[in-house]
Structure 1
């Protein structure tokens, strides 16, 4: 048999798989073929979306079913042995895999990424493929896993619920890196994972493996929102069953092994409120801290005292946004992350929803507003004479018509897209959130008539609104649709179907900005949620341009001295209790060692307003000065350009000239393959057709937009073919089939007629079976040749 004539699949089954199995790898538990480990980036243009290409490895080899240790890229025998190596190295880097192979069926090119090999890359014969035990031994040396206890910990498998669910590749990286770090004896571990990437499920698998292996026997999971604790207990942590309990504000039961706890439930200003001290300092072996960028990051916070008390336990911090300021540092406490998975990576892989930004600028925000001399506000207060701008809006100055304008733009957007799309409106404080609720109610009387819960204020001070939080995040519940809030919904709100995030809040904190954006990043295909829109009224999205937006956290932590006051524009975060109320420090010594202006303290969902005057003005007109839509580009940056400009640039990256495109088009057996390729690069022809003209062929849209050629409609092309009258050389039935195909093309385009399944649809099925119609041409090859000739005539 000529090896060169074999397909890549044949090379895999006849040579590569055989060689791996003969080396001792189990075909069912250790070898996985054609593994798609990303979903394919979601590309959004206009109101349409498509998915880009998935990353797919020909082989991934696992040790003990849950640790990927080798990647193999296969090529057919027309390629050299090492031709797949660069592609395989790319995959290995993403998967965190040390051993990389490329093969064409003759031999293996072997690349060792551990740095421990005499030669990094060598060629080995098919018979020399290494065994599982050989690669595992080298893997353990690479990871520093030396003792039998450490190996037993690392080898412990994931929890298997019987549904076939396994961690995504980045979750596996996070779990394995954490378990390996703890097996090596590391006591402080930080995991950075973007919102919506499954931190709690990842934490569960880490705890499960450490618990089942006996490495950690008693474990505490700490969170600072009741909803986070309850969601965790009822969902991801459910398999712990009777071994698990939630600590409450009463005497604790020490007979359990897995404890879930709300910070505020076990700490307080009085000693008797510090319930955690009912446990001995050595009671817990492992503490997992959810959202560790908040209170626990501060060195002198009440919450940190829990971690200090249980200092002998291993501490694992989970966060989407490590807190790195001059006052607070997650990294200073936990050390560098053992694994990071960013928003940008999640969107690139297709696990997180991309976004488009609608920036709306309002005249008084940009140009400022100054009161007339002695002007009073609605409550009779004389307004301080100065220029008020965007920073002042809704904080020191309320322009009621501005609130109405923002509400109007939100309503217009929802009416034009989906009036029932879950929407979060972030406001500056509770007062602003209530005024926004009122404005939206008045603009949506019909929707509010359907349900008074169409719009709800969900803030920490209001029980009625807080009670609706679960309904808001439940995809199956229609109401509430719009939630106005301030701080309460920035974190811990798993709003899978949130399609609109409105920013009418002055945001300086990158941490807070990331958390707000994270409310929209989840994908829910069952509810058609693939992407979301950010509507920005206060220039918050300028933070996307910040070099630190999605990069690695940089330590800028500076321990505070006695005389280090907080700069006047800094925001001091205050610990909240379960109801969103501030927790007072236990005693004066526990207070931050600096003075501060109370008006600048964020109280979770509101602010202390003593010392800050707020003027309310009802008769100042406002209007929109500019409105623009920005898309997230392939490099993660926002791009502001028309659909035509984007399409032109993208097509010209693939085809530098019209001749190059025409040559590819004429040679392509299936034109749809070219169109699919362009879609994966972000060219959505359906969206372009709505912009340029719905009657144009895809070919004409491309030539017109990218190369300035005058377009023809599909009907014009079909009529030109009819005039050539070349169908007469076919028999009557074949001629009839071609005439109908031509009509179908004129109606719907080239992609539909290229699929042979069209012969099973109306009106063809009334003429005979698909095989009978193909027989009229003399068989399938002759039918395909006739179709190719039809396409040739269409694009002559």
Structure 2
């Protein structure tokens, strides 16, 4: 029998020859229990300039499952030249994402077993023959979780598999499992907080599917406040329910169906005869899922809350990206604390959500204010109130045509410089502002509007033509409309997958609303090249990014009277104990206020139409009329513009890409000597180039900023270490002057000379792949095998010649040496 030299084996060999046999020998013979190369993240998108690239991410080598919806353990393998525990840190990271207690690392000699269920012996070493059986890990897992026998049929019910290979992402699986676990344990009010674009509806479908298939919940109601949300759900994620599902219409609840999708507006109204939900008994529904529960249903005095209270015996699950906590509205008071939260920052870090850059534009009159002259009248002849008008007033109580024009010109200029066909949402203060902005943008883009008059559309609740174009705007396959001006209609519930440009010319004070608006751009669509988006901010709204509430737990706002503070009862103690992050702040008013988020959100009223097929899509239709002055002839200009990027720490920073590159290199290399030694020692320069790209160095952007056709090596030497740069052509010419090719055969000289020209044209990456021998003009020397054999003798000799060529390329000429 031939003895295997383990130290010479690759990581893949170690897995196939030692780890998998040991696992299968222990009873893991059902391949649905074993998954290899499990990719948990997509890779964070790094944005610089107008380019973006994904960070490369590693996959978990092996994940073991009790069933496809129940991961139990992670195994991380390393080649045998490494220590047996080498992969443990990496495995613990994956296990943290999956929240599994069993973690294994191996180099093929045995396993290091990290067992969170056994704190007394947290990490032990076991032999290949002692790998735990499926029953052993499942029993330990159930004990660790505290599952009862009654819970197991529900917990082990598989999620829906459509056969396409699509599986819930790790955070979706967490949300599904935690919800199922809570319900199986008797909890009847559940809150899930998941950032916009992370698949809340798909997650809800899988929860409902598992409960329905386990017959734990037989009649289910999915509630939303917008027709578009119900239709999207019915046609897409919920489609597998088939004939068991219906959309409630005509104010009639049909008991023949088990899965009901409904608008609040279709189930209730101000009149008793409109309350269709009362057609069935209070115990008719076993489960109610409320989409966007931060809106109408969250308010205690909402007409829509009565639906939830009528079906109070049903388990109720609230879904939201932005839990709402104010003095009038509290998601946590009704649903309890979230059973799972997946934030915007986590989504961006994992590469499931699009990062953003912010372009802040400051306008002189916004910052300095504008005051009318004495006795000045507006365009309608009305005397203007004599005071200083500032940023909060413009387009709400004071309209200045030149300001509108400047904003439209700035938007147009940005689109022309980047992509005139980039889907763009312009958030305005009200419908009037949205219409004026539409007109200004039309006049700024005559060449585009002539091609298609729907290039710019006002999409607001009062405009039937505009609302009819909403589907076309959010459909990636439809080119038009390109620019949508709106006020409230598109703040939520609009799945704009390819929106690349969000313009803020609206006064935004509510954190809930801000998160929803930013969420319009956070979806990624690789197919259509949507990896990131830009926020153009004219109203300082993006200062909310610096607010600690932006990605954290929402603040509570609670109003209490002075006598409550003095009372000895438990009321105030419960408030403070339950919300320890709140601050009690005395105000000038005759009461005490717990400081928190201002409530500028809108709770949607019932629809006018009784069939539930229309209804309000936002607060546009109910804007309160305010006195508004309208003037022109004012000189307006932009006085500052700055670009900010979302960095690795989740902060917006203002910097050039060259500054970013310098900081990145400071973490990687202590000096120029360290970098040049690493570069020269590398067998393949491409490996270093790829490694730096993974750290966010986008070479094309750096080259654009420097403005020279430089090799990555020279870009770094010049930008980071202030060395005089040499272009690729200059380096190639220096090699030719040294005439070092003469030691090779005529064929080899011709090949190397041609490769040197290839380097000058396209860079070192071009010459490092042997595939370059297949393309013109190198193919005239024969096939790659013939070139290698006739010119160099062997593949090893050819690779040695390439290494020597690279050494000559990066050898500094005499005049550059110091």
Match of residue 675 from structure 2 = 661
**8 A Cα contact 2:559 2:592, kept in partner:** no
Match of residue 254 from structure 2 = 253
Query: Structure 1: 5+ residue runs without aligned partners?
Result: 584-601
- What secondary structure does 2:312 align onto? coil
Specify which of 563, 573, 578 is matched with residue 602 of structure 2: 573
What is the alpha-carbon distance in structure 1 between the residues aligned to residue 603 and residue 686 of structure 2?
A: 58
Match of residue 120 from structure 2 = 118
What is the alpha-carbon distance in structure 1 between the residues aligned to residue 433 and residue 591 of structure 2?
A: 33
What is the alpha-carbon distance in structure 2 between the residues aligned to residue 665 and residue 303 of structure 1?
A: 65
Q: Deviations over 1:705-752 (max 9, x none)?
A: 111111111111111111111111111111111000000111111111
What is the alpha-carbon distance in structure 1 between the residues aligned to residue 492 and residue 607 of structure 2?
A: 14
Counterparts in 2 of 1:608 and 1:716: CA distance versus 1, 3 Å: closer
Specify which of 588, 595, 605 is matched with residue 620 of structure 2: 605
Match of residue 287 from structure 2 = 286
Q: How does 1:58-457 map to 2 (within 5 A)?
A: 58-114=61-117, 117-148=119-150, 150-457=151-458
What is the alpha-carbon distance in structure 2 between the residues aligned to residue 624 and residue 38 of structure 1?
A: 41
What is the alpha-carbon distance in structure 1 between the residues aligned to residue 350 and residue 252 of structure 2?
A: 47
What is the alpha-carbon distance in structure 2 between the residues aligned to residue 251 and residue 207 of structure 1?
A: 22
- What secondary structure does 1:520 align onto? coil
What is the alpha-carbon distance in structure 2 between the residues aligned to residue 192 and residue 251 of structure 1?
A: 31
Q: How does 1:758-773 map to 2 (within 5 A)?
A: 758-773=772-787
Counterparts in 2 of 1:571 and 1:519: CA distance versus 1, 3 Å: closer
Deviation, structure 1 residue 543:
0.7
**8 A Cα contact 1:486 1:606, kept in partner:** no
Task: Establish whether residue 672 from structure 1 lines up as the match of residue 686 from structure 2.
Answer: yes
Deviation, structure 1 residue 578:
4.4
What is the alpha-carbon distance in structure 1 between the residues aligned to residue 530 and residue 393 of structure 2?
A: 35
- What secondary structure does 1:15 align onto? helix
- What secondary structure does 2:32 align onto? coil
Counterparts in 2 of 1:455 and 1:109: CA distance versus 1, 3 Å: same
Match of residue 584 from structure 2 = none
Deviation, structure 1 residue 555:
4.2
What is the alpha-carbon distance in structure 1 between the residues aligned to residue 22 and residue 601 of structure 2?
A: 62
What is the alpha-carbon distance in structure 2 between the residues aligned to residue 94 and residue 741 of structure 1?
A: 46
- What secondary structure does 1:573 align onto? coil
What is the alpha-carbon distance in structure 2 between the residues aligned to residue 603 and residue 701 of structure 1?
A: 50
Deviation, structure 1 residue 694:
3.4
What is the alpha-carbon distance in structure 2 between the residues aligned to residue 55 and residue 223 of structure 1?
A: 38
- What secondary structure does 2:650 align onto? coil
What is the alpha-carbon distance in structure 1 between the residues aligned to residue 496 and residue 263 of structure 2?
A: 21
Match of residue 51 from structure 1 = 54
Deviation, structure 1 residue 35:
1.5
Task: Establish whether residue 13 from structure 1 lines up as the match of residue 16 from structure 2.
Answer: yes
Deviation, structure 1 residue 682:
1.0
Task: Establish whether residue 636 from structure 1 lines up as the match of residue 636 from structure 2.
Answer: no
Q: How does 1:594-743 map to 2 (within 5 A)?
A: 604-605=619-620, 608-610=623-625, 612-743=626-757
**8 A Cα contact 1:423 1:501, kept in partner:** yes
TM-score w.r.t. the length of structure 1 is 0.94
Moved more, 618-627 or 245-254: 245-254
Deviation, structure 1 residue 7:
2.1
Deviation, structure 1 residue 375:
1.1
What is the alpha-carbon distance in structure 1 between the residues aligned to residue 297 and residue 656 of structure 2?
A: 45
Match of residue 792 from structure 1 = 807
Match of residue 533 from structure 1 = 534
- What secondary structure does 1:743 align onto? helix
Counterparts in 2 of 1:102 and 1:580: CA distance versus 1, 3 Å: farther
Match of residue 765 from structure 2 = 751
Match of residue 551 from structure 2 = 550
What is the alpha-carbon distance in structure 1 between the residues aligned to residue 56 and residue 78 of structure 2?
A: 19
What is the alpha-carbon distance in structure 2 between the residues aligned to residue 773 and residue 572 of structure 1?
A: 71
What is the alpha-carbon distance in structure 2 between the residues aligned to residue 795 and residue 760 of structure 1?
A: 25
What is the alpha-carbon distance in structure 1 between the residues aligned to residue 358 and residue 290 of structure 2?
A: 33
What is the alpha-carbon distance in structure 1 between the residues aligned to residue 415 and residue 608 of structure 2?
A: 31
Moved more, 291-300 or 244-253: 244-253
Moved more, 84-93 or 560-569: 560-569
**8 A Cα contact 1:752 1:758, kept in partner:** yes
Q: Deviations over 1:744-776 (max 9, x none)?
A: 111111111111111000111122111111112
Counterparts in 2 of 1:177 and 1:26: CA distance versus 1, 3 Å: farther
Counterparts in 2 of 1:603 and 1:385: CA distance versus 1, 3 Å: farther
Size of the aligned set, in residue pairs, is 774
**8 A Cα contact 2:220 2:260, kept in partner:** yes
Moved more, 505-514 or 78-87: 78-87
**8 A Cα contact 1:327 1:559, kept in partner:** no
Q: How does 1:587-598 map to 2 (within 5 A)?
A: none
Deviation, structure 1 residue 693:
2.9
Deviation, structure 1 residue 573:
2.7
**8 A Cα contact 1:460 1:579, kept in partner:** no
- What secondary structure does 1:123 align onto? strand
What is the alpha-carbon distance in structure 1 between the residues aligned to residue 134 and residue 552 of structure 2?
A: 36
- What secondary structure does 1:452 align onto? coil
What is the alpha-carbon distance in structure 2 between the residues aligned to residue 653 and residue 118 of structure 1?
A: 38
What is the alpha-carbon distance in structure 1 between the residues aligned to residue 70 and residue 448 of structure 2?
A: 52
- What secondary structure does 1:25 align onto? coil
**8 A Cα contact 2:396 2:429, kept in partner:** yes
Deviation, structure 1 residue 94:
1.4
**8 A Cα contact 1:472 1:495, kept in partner:** yes
Task: Establish whether residue 25 from structure 1 lines up as the match of residue 39 from structure 2.
Answer: no
Deviation, structure 1 residue 452:
1.4
Counterparts in 2 of 1:716 and 1:138: CA distance versus 1, 3 Å: same
**8 A Cα contact 2:218 2:258, kept in partner:** yes
Counterparts in 2 of 1:400 and 1:580: CA distance versus 1, 3 Å: farther
Deviation, structure 1 residue 10:
1.8
Query: Structure 2: 5+ residue runs without aligned partners?
Result: 565-589, 812-818
Task: Establish whether residue 40 from structure 1 lines up as the match of residue 69 from structure 2.
Answer: no
What is the alpha-carbon distance in structure 1 between the residues aligned to residue 450 and residue 301 of structure 2?
A: 50
What is the alpha-carbon distance in structure 1 between the residues aligned to residue 734 and residue 291 of structure 2?
A: 67
Deviation, structure 1 residue 696:
1.3
Deviation, structure 1 residue 370:
0.9
What is the alpha-carbon distance in structure 2 between the residues aligned to residue 37 and residue 407 of structure 1?
A: 42
What is the alpha-carbon distance in structure 1 between the residues aligned to residue 211 and residue 598 of structure 2?
A: 44
What is the alpha-carbon distance in structure 1 between the residues aligned to residue 62 and residue 286 of structure 2?
A: 38
**8 A Cα contact 1:35 1:60, kept in partner:** yes
What is the alpha-carbon distance in structure 1 between the residues aligned to residue 168 and residue 175 of structure 2?
A: 10
Task: Establish whether residue 779 from structure 1 lines up as the match of residue 781 from structure 2.
Answer: no
